[in-house]
Amino acid sequence: MVKSLNTYTWQEIQRHNQQADQWLVINRKVYDVTDWAGRHPGGRRILTHYAGEDATDVFRAVHLELDVVQLYLKPLLIGELAPGEPSQERHKNSQLVKDFQELRKTVEAMNMFDANLVFFFLHLAQILILEVLAWLTLYQFGSGWRLLGQILITAQSGFLQHDAGHLSIFKKSKWNHLLHKFLMCHLKGLSGNWWNYRHFQHHVKTNIYPKDPDINMGPLFLLGDLFSQYLKGPQATEEEMKLCSGHLTFKCFSLQDIAWVSSFYIRHFITFAPKCHHLLLLLPPRFLESPWIAYVTQMSHIPMQMSTEENRDWLSTQVLATCNIEQSFFNDWFTGHLNFQIEHHLFPTMPRHNYHKVAPLVRSLCAKHGLQYVNKPMLTAFGDIVRALKKSAALWKDAYYET
């Protein structure tokens, strides 16, 4: 005989929204993730960010092998929504949520989550060929020419590690994780765990302060229109202060990450030590690559809406906080297809070569529900970063001078 599940109202569920007491809803089922949060592969904070909320769409968006994930969910199940309760919180537009979930089914039926492995192999080959050419030019012509190749390597490997980190290349998560370690740790010399820990918080709560670490510049810098008011308001809670503190903690690292990152420095010193000083060769590409990556990653978010938590539906959360850049062959290559940030944020595990195919469907859904689908030229987007920062600086200045 099947044991009947306990039933809960949204009012009951929303009370369990603290770090020490976390419930969330997925497909009308209620899960208590409090004790398991510390073992969550994406980090504890992602679950904390959704405690007391419906997590159906974000759960589907970020997980690849649902049959495997269900094995972890099953012991956490404590009940389901009461029969009279809607499938999402009452303040959300149920028709919009339903339409987005139908869109998800449509793009799945179109096989938009199937990766073209040749596409990704060519991108990996591009990086490895540039690595070899950088080594050859160093030995033939000196470090100056090698610098250009290394900038291209670090930027393009950054885009490819982004694909692997989002599990969008292989059907099995373990192969994506392995490639991610190779690209992020071995080729770039950075921690893959650190990237996961920060980046997935950014994805699930995009431009939501203080949950999105990409806009959390405190205590010295603030972004967005609301933050000057935030300074004048009540003191931040203890949890918010923790979120405002440094994100690069020892917990982000593992022995596996340390070994992989060590291989980057070992390879670097062995390969280039005979020809030049290590630091002189290592640092310039980093300094020159940084503006490239910063502009590409921030042009789609910094000029867009930022707010404190408003618990919107998944589609509205991403579209209001994200914009696209016009498509061209150069823009696709220069941004690693992050010129389609809206589609990427809605479907993070989708291979990037399919973004342009689903963009018209997303645009149509946005038009139906009155959401502005922003698509702009790249140079305009670059200028919007500066204009947005200038506006934030003026608000920041006014807030501090008045306190």
- DSSP letter (8 states) at residue 30: E
Q: Cβ distance 324 to 300 under 8 Å? A: yes
Q: Which pLDDT score, from 0 to 100, does residue 60 have?
A: 96
When pLDDT is averaged across residues 80-108 and rounded to a whole number, the result is 96
Residue 336 predicted with pLDDT over 90: yes
Q: Which pLDDT score, from 0 to 100, does residue 81 have?
A: 96
Q: Cβ distance 202 to 214 under 8 Å? A: yes
Quickly list H helices, 110-226: 117-141, 143-165, 173-180, 192-204
Q: Which pLDDT score, from 0 to 100, does residue 236 have?
A: 40
Of 177-186, 238-247, 278-287, the least confident: 238-247
Spatial distance between the Cα atoms of 161 and 192, rounded to a whole number of angstroms: 9
Q: Which pLDDT score, from 0 to 100, does residue 276 have?
A: 57
Query: Measuring CA to CA, how many Å separate 295 from each of 155, 166, 253, 300?
Result: 12, 20, 27, 9
82-100 burial by CB neighbour count: b if 16+ within 10 A, else e? eeebeebbeebeeebbeeb
Confidence of residue 296 (pLDDT cuts 50, 70, 90): very high
Residue with tokens 């492995």: 117
Q: Which pLDDT score, from 0 to 100, does residue 320 have?
A: 96
Nearest to 151 by CA among 274, 264, 279, 292: 292
Of 104-113, 215-224, 257-266, 383-392, the least confident: 215-224
Residue 179 predicted with pLDDT over 80: yes
Residue 248 predicted with pLDDT over 50: no
Residue with tokens 């978010």: 301
Spatial distance between the Cα atoms of 384 and 392, rounded to a whole number of angstroms: 12
Confidence of residue 267 (pLDDT cuts 50, 70, 90): confident
Q: Which pLDDT score, from 0 to 100, does residue 148 have?
A: 57
| Identity of the amino acid at 66 | L
When pLDDT is averaged across residues 166-177 and rounded to a whole number, the result is 95
| Identity of the amino acid at 338 | L
Nearest to 278 by CA among 286, 288, 268: 268
Q: Which pLDDT score, from 0 to 100, does residue 41 have?
A: 86
| pLDDT digits 0-9 by tens, 41-86 | 888 899 999 999 999 999 999 999 898 999 999 999 999 999 999 9
Spatial distance between the Cα atoms of 284 and 282, rounded to a whole number of angstroms: 6
In 180-313, DSSP assigns E strands to: 208-209, 307-308
Q: Which pLDDT score, from 0 to 100, does residue 279 have?
A: 54
When pLDDT is averaged across residues 163-176 and rounded to a whole number, the result is 95
Residue 285 predicted with pLDDT over 90: no
When pLDDT is averaged across residues 303-326 and rounded to a whole number, the result is 94
When pLDDT is averaged across residues 173-196 and rounded to a whole number, the result is 91
In 90-191, DSSP assigns E strands to: none
